[in-house]
């Protein structure tokens, strides 16, 4: 099998695993315990927090460790919405329908069960949210705005710094889901100007099951998981020490090696995009042609069932995705395909090809040699 689904998850870097292993066995204490076992575990968590803060250019007290990017999104949106409603009465939340389901489904829930009002921001044909769109939508009752840094499904990079400035000028909290972005884009929160930012380790060669939320000091936030006082009282539960250590080491390596990793995948991505658009009839690139993640190629093919195409690719030895890895097995186009205005005949035929550390030029040559005939076969089978 040739793995071409690095936006779904990445393998754990061996250096990350080496950093994690002692905390499963030798240093297994509970960080909340007073004795030396607990002190050693607490030291590991706080060292990881300091490393994470250094990579994000913030203070350690602004880092909250969570179980994943989705939980980080939930904590940011629910916590900020509740806090701002209590503080000012604001009950509107702004986000685009091109967001990850961790954001959109959280907002649907807040609207249906908690009485919040949601305004869905328009995106352009590339899935991009403009600062002007955000600025026009903000009103006196806006509690929080959430726009993803880079789209998981189509790879588009949003102008986060400008959107953050538009929110700051109106005194509105701004959150970004940077789960896909962190592997390849700068995550300096001072440069970006965000109030909250969500991360997930398994997108940048860390373990599944651990994430983080940056929360700018002074940002009003209610806890969404209550119990003990861990994570500054915002996220109760015994800290997952080994995974937190893995998160920090994976993020550190990502910062150190970002340019090298980008240089490896970007030419291969461009080769895929150029060949597919030239060779395969009735194919379109989805996402922005320039402002896109360097490892990310995504397409739609007219009159193709994306799940059929994935099955054919899998049988041929290629692991790819049809849009979001969190949205599979559905006969309808994803919300992202609808948000960018694709007709159903096109939106059903999405394919996402994402590259990573194990991708070689031979892999891409092999993939491109077979893809055209598999697309035609999928058309016949539809």
Residue 133 pLDDT class (50, 70, 90 cuts): very high
- CATH code reported for the domain at 2-8+258-381: 3.90.1150.10
Report the alpha-carbon distance of residue 369 to residue 103 in Å, rounded.
37
Domain with CATH 3.90.1150.10 in the chain: 2-8+258-381
- Residues 157-179: tens digit of each pLDDT: 999 999 999 999 999 999 999 99
Domain with CATH 3.40.640.10 in the chain: 14-254
Contact 240, 208 (CB under 8 A): no
Report the alpha-carbon distance of residue 178 to residue 318 in Å, rounded.
27
Work out the mean pLDDT of the chain and round it to a whole number: 96
CA 42: distance to chain centroid?
A: 28
From 3.20.20.140, 3.40.228.10, 3.40.640.10, 1.10.760.10, which CATH number describes the 14-254 domain? 3.40.640.10
- C-alpha R_g of the chain: 21
pLDDT of residue 332: 84
Report the alpha-carbon distance of residue 272 to residue 306 in Å, rounded.
18
pLDDT higher than threshold 80 for residue 382? no
Question: Is there a catalytic annotation at residue 326?
Answer: yes
pLDDT higher than threshold 90 for residue 94? yes
- Residues 4-36: tens digit of each pLDDT: 999 999 999 999 999 999 999 999 999 999 999
pLDDT higher than threshold 70 for residue 74? yes
Give residues with Cβ within 8 angstroms of 299, minimum separation 6. Answer: 276, 283, 284, 285, 286, 350, 351, 353
pLDDT of residue 297: 98
pLDDT of residue 323: 66
- Select from 227, 246, 282, 238 the least CA-distant residue to 18: 246
pLDDT of residue 330: 60
Measured CA angle at 120 (ends 204, 85), to 5 deg:
90
- Residues 227-284: tens digit of each pLDDT: 999 999 999 999 999 999 999 999 999 999 999 999 999 999 999 999 999 999 999 9
From 58, 68, 139, 326, the catalytic residue = 326
Distant-in-sequence contacts of 317-321, Cβ < 8 A, 24+ apart: 317/1, 317/2, 318/1, 318/2, 318/4, 318/367, 318/370, 319/1, 319/2, 319/3, 319/4, 319/5, 320/4, 320/5, 320/351, 320/352, 320/353, 321/5, 321/7, 321/8, 321/351, 321/352, 321/354
pLDDT of residue 195: 98
- Residues 198-222: tens digit of each pLDDT: 999 999 999 999 999 999 999 999 9
Report, as an integer, the average pLDDT of 111-139: 98
- Residues 322-333: tens digit of each pLDDT: 865 555 556 789
pLDDT of residue 325: 54
């Amino acid at each position: 099998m040739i793995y071409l689904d690095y936006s779904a998850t990445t393998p754990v870097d061996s250096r990350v695993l080496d950093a994690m292993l002692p905390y499963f066995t030798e240093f297994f204490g509970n960080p909340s315990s007073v004795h030396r076992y607990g002190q050693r575990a607490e030291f590991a968590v706080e060292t990881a927090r300091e490393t994470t803060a250094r990579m994000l250019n913030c203070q350690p007290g602004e880092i909250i460790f969570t179980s994943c990017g989705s939980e980080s999104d939930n904590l940011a949106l629910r916590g900020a919405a509740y806090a701002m409603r209590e503080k000012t009465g604001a009950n509107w939340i702004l986000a685009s329908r091109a967001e990850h389901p961790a954001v959109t489904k959280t907002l649907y829930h807040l609207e249906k069960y908690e009485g919040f009002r949601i305004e869905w921001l328009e995106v352009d044909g590339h899935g991009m949210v403009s600062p002007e769109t955000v600025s026009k939508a903000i009103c006196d009752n806006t509690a929080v705005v959430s726009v993803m840094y880079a789209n998981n499904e189509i790879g588009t990079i949003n102008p986060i710094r400008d959107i953050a400035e538009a929110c700051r000028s109106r005194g509105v909290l701004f959150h970004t889901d940077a789960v896909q972005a962190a592997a390849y884009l700068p995550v300096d929160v001072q440069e970006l100007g965000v109030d909250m930012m969500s991360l997930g380790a398994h997108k940048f060669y860390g373990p599944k099951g651990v994430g983080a939320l940056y929360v700018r000091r002074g940002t009003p936030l209610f806890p969404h998981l209550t119990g003990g006082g861990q994570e500054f009282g915002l996220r109760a539960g015994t800290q997952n020490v080994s995974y937190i250590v893995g998160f920090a080491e994976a993020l550190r390596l990502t910062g150190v090696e970002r340019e090298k990793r980008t240089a490896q995948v970007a030419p291969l991505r461009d080769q895929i995009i150029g060949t597919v658009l030239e060779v395969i009839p009735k194919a379109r690139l989805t996402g922005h042609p320039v402002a896109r993640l360097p490892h990310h190629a995504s397409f739609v093919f007219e009159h193709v069932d994306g799940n059929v195409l994935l099955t054919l690719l899998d049988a041929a030895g290629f692991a790819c995705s049809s849009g979001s890895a969190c949205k599979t097995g559905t006969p309808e186009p994803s919300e992202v395909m609808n948000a960018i205005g694709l007709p159903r005949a096109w939106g059903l035929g999405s394919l996402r090809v994402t590259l990573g550390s194990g991708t070689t030029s031979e892999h891409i040559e092999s993939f491109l040699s077979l893809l055209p005939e598999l697309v035609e076969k999928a058309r016949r089978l539809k």
